[in-house]
Amino acid sequence: MKHMEHRRYYYLVGTFIFIAVTSLIITLLASGFRLGSDGTISQTGIISINSAPEGALVYINDVPQDATNTNITQLKPGTYSVRLEKEGFVPWKQDVDVVSQTVTRVDSLLVPLYPSFNPLTYTGVANPSIAPDGQRIVYKSTNPETAGIWLLELEDRPFNLSTKPRQLLADTENRPYSTGSVDWSPSSNEIKITMLIPSTKLSELDNSTTIIEYFSIQSNELLTSSIQEIDDEWKILASTEREALLNNLSDTHVAEILALNIHSWSPDNSQILHTIEKDDQIEYHVYNVPDSNTNNEPTPTPQSHKTIHNPILTLPRDYVVRWFPDSSHLLITHQTDETNGAIEIVEIMGTNRVQVYSGSLSQSIAYPNPNGSRIIILARFNQESDAYNLYGINLR
């Protein structure tokens, strides 16, 4: 009887010890602890690698691993060379610091070696302008059959199909909209057209009249409010948006931001691109906006692979720099001559700078669509025509 009780006791104790040890091992493994080949126990980290598009082969220190998207585990703390390769795309490289018990996220944009093109307009385009929210482009057409103001929506459709442009305003004898200038409202829902109308009287040929009209994209009609009322509304809206970006920041951070020569905010408002002029060049710097939701406490996730060393770029003054929709890349455009230019994409750390396109280009016009799958350019590929049109460079 006592023998049976002892056996039951040892069984219970053994079971308890087994469960405790197993739980401890699972906890240690989940915390990144690994048993090395030399018998020592060390903590490890993880690199979570994502790419657009997916399916790129991952190399860690030149050793092939899995294809993206994937997690590379059991990595000892240190710096690793990460390389992504996918057929038809430019290889991507980055040095990534791994910290124990931490998942370090890496997001990469793969640029095609030979991107495809497709026309978005056919009747000629002049002075295209993208809306502040990046969702649509307004442009002018001077073709006698289509003269006026046109709109191209940039929303994504299956199979890289694009929406057809629609005419907002057609030229009339008294309203030559295609000769005017167009400005966007801060909300991206309205446009302002400013026209200079020459006098028809022989005695006043040197005089002209300025006509200003406002058009609502949403209601598809001219606005009837006074110029002053609409201008005031736009100013209030712009001021409100700026205040909203700064409201939750400390006075110190607000002062830092106001002291910057701001070029533009990133699409997600987490960063500011600002500039410093240096002779005939411009330095581009990135300011990380503090996250008000974390009370400015340091993040436990290391961002060493995203460390920004300013300036990230130093470019000639005639280069045009725009944010990419992912807030992690910049689009660089410049004219090589009057009718040709080049487009590059670079990470905000200044790394992985890749040329996307070189060829026909006008006015350094290059706009990314909302999800970054396409870049819209103003170009001319028909040498028999003087008309420029909008084309899409497909990145995916």
Residues 72 and 158 in one domain: no
Percent of the chain with pLDDT over 70: 81
Query: Which residue carries 């001559």 as its tokens?
Result: 337
* 103-117, 218-232, 300-314, 319-333: least confidently modelled range: 300-314
Residues 102 and 122 in one domain: no
| Listed residue (356, 386, 341) closest to 116, CA to CA | 356
Helices (H), ranges, the chain? 2-30, 227-246, 251-258
Q: What is the mean pLDDT of the chain?
A: 86
Query: Which residue carries 């699972």 as its tokens?
Result: 26
In a domain, 24, yes or no: no
* 66-80, 157-171, 261-275, 302-316: least confidently modelled range: 302-316
In a domain, 4, yes or no: no
- Domain that residue 191 falls in: 116-394
Residues 57 and 181 in one domain: no
Q: CB–CB of 286/348 below 8 Å?
A: yes
Residues 162 and 266 in one domain: yes
Statement: residue 380 has pLDDT above 80: yes
Helix, strand, or coil (residue 23): helix
109, 142, 158: which is the final residue of a domain?
109
Statement: residue 306 has pLDDT above 80: no
User: Which residues, 6+ apart, have CB-to-CB distance to 134 below 8 Å?
Assistant: 154, 267, 325, 367, 368, 369, 370
Residues 102 and 123 in one domain: no
In a domain, 126, yes or no: yes
Q: Which pLDDT value is given to residue 158?
A: 61
Q: Which pLDDT value is given to residue 18?
A: 64
Q: Which pLDDT value is given to residue 171?
A: 94
Rounded CA separation 114/357 (Å)? 9
Residues 206 and 268 in one domain: yes
List pLDDT tens digits, range 337-356. 999 999 999 999 999 999 99
109, 125, 150: which is the final residue of a domain?
109
230-234, Cβ contacts within 8 angstroms, sequence gap of 24 or more: 230/190, 230/192, 234/185, 234/186, 234/190
In a domain, 19, yes or no: no
In a domain, 17, yes or no: no
| Backbone CA torsion sign across 298, 299, 304, 306 | negative
In a domain, 174, yes or no: yes
Residues 73 and 172 in one domain: no
Strand 126-130's sheet: what is its strand order? 126-130, 136-141, 148-153, 166-170
Residues 61 and 145 in one domain: no
Percent of the chain with pLDDT over 90: 70
Residues 82 and 120 in one domain: no
Statement: residue 294 has pLDDT above 60: no
Quote the number of domains for the chain: 2
Q: CB–CB of 282/273 below 8 Å?
A: no
CATH number of the domain at 84, please.
2.60.40.10
Residues 314 and 237 in one domain: yes
Residues 256 and 162 in one domain: yes
List pLDDT tens digits, range 118-162. 999 999 999 999 999 999 999 999 899 999 999 999 986 665 556
Q: Which pLDDT value is given to residue 37?
A: 53
Residues 130 and 71 in one domain: no
